[in-house]
Structure 1
Amino acid sequence: MLKVVNRLKPASKTLVFAACLAVAGACTPIFKNHGYIPPPEDLAEIKVGVDTRESVEEAVGAPSSSGVVRDSGFYYVRSRVRHYGPKRPEVVSRELLAISFDDRGVVRNIERFGLEDGIVVPLDRRITESTIENRGFLRQLLGNIGNFNPANIPGASN
């Protein structure tokens, strides 16, 4: 192999070197971070039984989401996803910080959950299903030919 590389012209050597770099770069994992969890220093400022919703929001920022039920809590979520070549992206870490409040709006508890604890925190998006079937644009457009009824036009007289 070394003899073959030595016989190549300098431009070809550069091309082979660039191709090797491209292949090595394609196999490098890429990490993407999503979300926000306040740092421990900011969380240390929050006193259970003393701080309120407003003081928590001032100290650590607005939550990623809050509870569906009024006055239930603040939730901060952070995920780290690894993308590796053609493989499906993999969640390598996910943390959830839950700050719960009592009926008066005072901090009741601060909890952390994550993949490291063996607790899987599934993130779910609810998407409204469309009534459009899996058809292309032209098929949808041409499929409506013949379905036109002038009586369905608003304001049309009978």
Structure 2
Amino acid sequence: MMDRANQTGKSLGRWALVPVMAVFVAACSPMMEYHGYAPTDTDLAEVTIGQDTRETVAQKVGQPGMGGVMEGSGWFYVQSDWRRRGWRAPEETDRQVVAISFDLRDRVSNIERFGLEDGEVISLSRRVTDSGPRPGVLSQVFRVLGQFSAASLGG
């Protein structure tokens, strides 16, 4: 009789683990996030170079998320897809940048699409006078650690 009760208890214990494992697996599965908007090639096929203006482009494919820095420069549509896995930093899986250029008459002069594979890491130029040698990483770490006190850690 005890064996049967013991087996039933073990069986129930195993079944109790199923929801816990399902929650664990769901928490570890990747989550996709989508940011921004880039028109599809089908949408862009409706835009005619040399004929369409900013207004007609806005009607056909929508307003861009950002424009060029200078007045009269192009429009940029940017869409990024990110994969998030638990505690890890998100990873960009796809990026689409659509650049629509306009001529002096405000008509479309060029349409370009760039993907994640076309991107380059660029260093921005800083117009700052060099202040001399910079401290090393370890000296910066020790300086930060030296700023803590027991009073600042206790709450």
Name the amino acid aligned to 2:110.
N
Is residue 29 of structure 2 the alignment partner of residue 28 of structure 1?
A: yes
TM-score normalised by L of structure 1: 0.68
Deviations 1:37-58 (A, max 9, x none): 1122221010111111111011
1:114–1:120 CA contact under 8 A, matched in 2 = no
Structure 1 CA distance for aligned equivalents of residues 117 and 95 of structure 2: 8
1:96–1:121 CA contact under 8 A, matched in 2 = no
TM-score normalised by L of structure 2: 0.69
Aligned to 1:57: 58
Q: Secondary structure, in 3 states, of the residue corresponding to 1:14?
A: helix
Structure 2 CA distance for aligned equivalents of residues 64 and 121 of structure 1: 21
Residues 57-96 of structure 1: pairs in structure 2 closer than 5 A? 57-96=58-97
Deviation at 1:22, TM superposition (A): 1.6
Q: What is the aligned counterpart of 1:8 among 2, 7, 10?
A: 10
Identity %: 42
Structure 2 CA distance for aligned equivalents of residues 35 and 110 of structure 1: 18
1:94–1:121 CA contact under 8 A, matched in 2 = no
Name the amino acid aligned to 1:8.
K
Structure 2 CA distance for aligned equivalents of residues 102 and 6 of structure 1: 79
Deviation at 1:120, TM superposition (A): 3.9
Deviation at 1:27, TM superposition (A): 1.5
Name the amino acid aligned to 1:22.
V
Distance 1:5 1:32, change over 3 A: farther
Residues 91-106 of structure 1: pairs in structure 2 closer than 5 A? 91-106=92-107
Residues 110-149 of structure 1: pairs in structure 2 closer than 5 A? 110-117=111-118, 119-120=119-120
Instruction: Name structure 1 gaps, 5 residues minimum.
Output: 123-138, 140-158
Aligned to 1:129: none
Structure 2 CA distance for aligned equivalents of residues 98 and 31 of structure 1: 25
> In angstroms, what is the RMSD of aligned CA positions?
2.3
Structure 2 CA distance for aligned equivalents of residues 5 and 121 of structure 1: 61
Structure 1 CA distance for aligned equivalents of residues 37 and 7 of structure 2: 50
Deviation at 1:116, TM superposition (A): 2.8
| Number of residues of Structure 1 aligned to a counterpart in Structure 2 | 118
